[in-house]
């Protein structure tokens, strides 16, 4: 472990006021993550698991009515203090983000060149011509053909894949130390997905920036990340290096995710996870996954498991991870009452 992580999230909580007015709904529930310089962290989970909200919390871009608690430290400096002013000061420059939907992430009435140079000039204090040059260089780096001629074009004149490349160029415009990517390929065709992944991997190689890659696709993470955090219902349920996670998945949910991953040449049926994730407003005291879990016992429904180290930097939040690892299926007969 490096002495000082670049980014350290500790017990981060994000809550929204409940729609009925009473109490609050926790969409991110005490999660902790660390990111070393140059490291790629994959955050995996299904829709509603809180992964996007975690990303927005890192960027200070949560909706106004949300409340956050816990700590986010960037280079040892607390970002959640002083009402978001610290985050506002570093975002775009130190921490940048690539968003989920390239079709709506760029301003439709401003030219691509304007959007790029505006950010470059703001952060770097460059002149018009120099900023333009930098913008062309960026567009070229992300693979937009005829970059110089296209600065004047507006977003609607580009394809979805190209727009995502432009959003990536925008994020990279000031050489951030951390790139947060929130499912940047979900809205794109599979072939374009692969290109974007390869592009970010290459850029990461060149600049040694740390990356948080949020996705619902374990397959994407496998090829890209150093470490993976699996999120379920607002919490991190398992965290390990990619190799370790694929070798010895220890949370029933992770195993479920792996089992629903199609593999080339494998003709066996995919096994989906039964049921659907709980409404964050209706979560009980126990493990949020228990209602869908084949290993669940009474204790799971009463006590929420905490992340515990299981060796090799691997952490799991499951009362029964030993049995799960051993592959012992729980027989439904024994515990019920």
Partner 1 sequence: MTTFLVKRGLQAIPLLIGISLLLFAMLQMTPGGPLASSEGTGAQNAARVEQIREHYGLDDPLPVQYFNWAGGVATGDWGTSFNTGRPVLTMIWERLPNTLLLTGAAFLLAIAIAVPIGVLAARKQYSWFDYVSSGLSFVGVAMPSFWLALMLLFVFSYSLGWLPSGGLEDLRADHEGFSAVIDRVRHMILPVIVLAAVSTAQLARYVRGAMLDVLQQDYVRTARGSGLRERTVIVGHALRNAAIPVVTVAVLTIPELFLGSVVMETIFAIPGIGRLFVESANLRDYPVLLGILMIGAALVVVANLVADIVYSLLDPRIRYAS
| Pair 239, 230: CB distance under 8 Å | yes
Interface residue with partner 1 among 26, 73, 91, 319 (CB under 8 A) is 91
Inter-CA distances, 78 with 75, 115, 132, 293, Å: 9, 29, 34, 37
Q: Are 314 and 279 in contact (CB under 8 A)?
A: no
- Our CB check for partner 1 shows the closer of 52 and 193 to be 52
Kindly state the number of chain residues that form the binding site for partner 1, as judged by CB under 8 A.
30
Closest to partner 1 by CB, 75 vs 123, is 123
Binding to partner 1 (CB under 8 A) within 194-253 occurs at none
Q: Find the binder of partner 1 among 10, 30, 46, 101 (CB under 8 A).
A: 101
* 150 counts as binding partner 1 under rule CB under 8 A: no
Q: Would you say 6 or 288 has its CB closer to partner 1? A: 6
The whole-angstrom separation of Cα 183 and Cα 190 is: 13
Residue 90 lies near partner 1 (rule: CB under 8 A): yes
Minimum distance from residue 101 beta carbon to partner 1 (Å): 6
HSE value, Cβ hemisphere, 13 Å, CA-based, for 298: 5
Classify 245 as helix, strand or coil: helix
Compute the least distance from the CB of residue 12 to partner 1, in Å: 18
Of residues 12 and 55, the one with the C-beta less far from partner 1: 55
- Binding of partner 1 at residue 71 (CB under 8 A)? no
Q: What mask of x and - would describe binding to partner 1 in positions 159 to 198, judged by CB under 8 A?
A: --------x--x--xx------------------------
Q: How far is the CB of 206 from partner 1 (least distance, A)?
A: 21
Residue 125 DSSP code: -
33-62: contacts with partner 1 (CB under 8 A): 59, 61
Choose one: 23-31, 93-101, 217-225, 247-255; the region binding partner 1 (CB under 8 A). Answer: 93-101
Q: Stretches 97-105, 125-133, 213-221, 317-325: which one binds partner 1 (CB under 8 A)?
A: 97-105
3-state secondary structure of 101: coil
Binding to partner 1 by residue 97, rule CB under 8 A? yes
> If 0-12 CB within 10 Å is exposed, 13-18 middle and 19+ buried, where does residue 93 land?
middle
Closer of 14 and 296 to partner 1 (Cβ)? 14
Residue 135, token pair as written in the block: 């913008």
Q: Least distance from C-beta 73 to partner 1, angstroms? A: 19
Choose between 155 and 277: whose C-beta lies nearer to partner 1. Answer: 155
Contact pattern from residue 110 through residue 149 relative to partner 1, giving x for each residue in contact according to CB under 8 A and a dash for the rest: xx------xx--xx--------------------------
**DSSP-derived pairing of the beta strands 227-232 and 235-241:** antiparallel
Q: In angstroms, rounded to a whole number, what is the distance separating the alpha carbons of residues 94 and 73?
A: 13
Cα 169 → chain centroid: 19
What six digits make up the tokens of 95?
């921490």
Task: Say whether 182 sits in a helix, a strand or coil.
Answer: strand
**What sign does the CA torsion over 51, 217, 201, 230 have?**
positive
Strand order across the beta sheet in which 77-78 lies: 24-35, 7-17, 67-74, 77-78
Nearest to 150 by CA among 173, 98, 159: 159
Residue 80 or 300 having the CB closest to partner 1: 80
Q: Which of 273, 263, 271, 201 is closest to 49 using CA atoms?
A: 273
Q: Which residues bind partner 1 (CB under 8 A)?
A: 59, 61, 88-93, 96-97, 99, 101, 104-111, 118-119, 122-123, 154, 156, 167, 170, 173-174
């Amino acid at each position: 472990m490096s002495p000082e992580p670049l980014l350290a999230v500790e017990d981060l909580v994000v809550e929204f006021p409940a729609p009925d007015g009473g109490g609050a709904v926790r969409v991110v529930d005490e999660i902790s993550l660390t990111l070393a310089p140059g490291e790629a962290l994959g955050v995996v989970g299904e829709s509603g698991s809180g992964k996007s909200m975690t990303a927005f919390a890192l960027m200070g871009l949560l909706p106004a009515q949300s409340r956050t608690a816990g700590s986010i430290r960037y280079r040892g400096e607390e970002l959640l203090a002083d009402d978001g002013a610290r985050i506002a000061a570093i975002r775009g420059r130190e921490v940048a983000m690539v968003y989920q939907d390239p079709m709506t992430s760029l301003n439709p009435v401003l030219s691509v060149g304007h959007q790029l140079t505006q950010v470059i000039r703001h952060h770097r204090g460059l002149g018009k011509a120099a900023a333009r040059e930098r913008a062309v260089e960026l567009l070229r780096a992300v693979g937009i053909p005829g970059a110089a001629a296209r600065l004047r074009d507006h977003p609607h004149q580009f394809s979805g894949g190209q727009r995502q490349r432009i959003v990536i160029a925008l994020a990279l415009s000031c050489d951030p130390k951390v790139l947060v990517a929130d499912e940047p390929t979900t809205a794109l065709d599979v072939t374009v997905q692969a290109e974007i992944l390869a592009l970010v991997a290459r850029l990461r190689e060149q600049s040694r920036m740390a990356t948080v890659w949020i996705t619902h696709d374990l397959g994407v993470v496998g090829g890209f990340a150093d470490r993976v955090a699996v999120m379920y219902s607002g919490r991190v349920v398992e965290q390990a290096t990619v190799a370790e996670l694929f070798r010895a998945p220890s949370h029933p949910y992770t195993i479920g995710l792996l089992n629903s991953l199609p593999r080339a040449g494998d003709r066996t049926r995919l096994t989906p996870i039964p049921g659907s994730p709980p409404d964050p407003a209706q979560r009980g005291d126990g493990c949020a996954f228990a209602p869908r879990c084949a290993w669940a016992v009474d204790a799971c429904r009463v006590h929420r498991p905490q992340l515990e180290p299981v060796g090799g930097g691997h952490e799991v939040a499951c009362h029964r991870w030993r049995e799960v690892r051993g592959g012992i299926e729980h027989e439904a007969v024994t515990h019920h009452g």
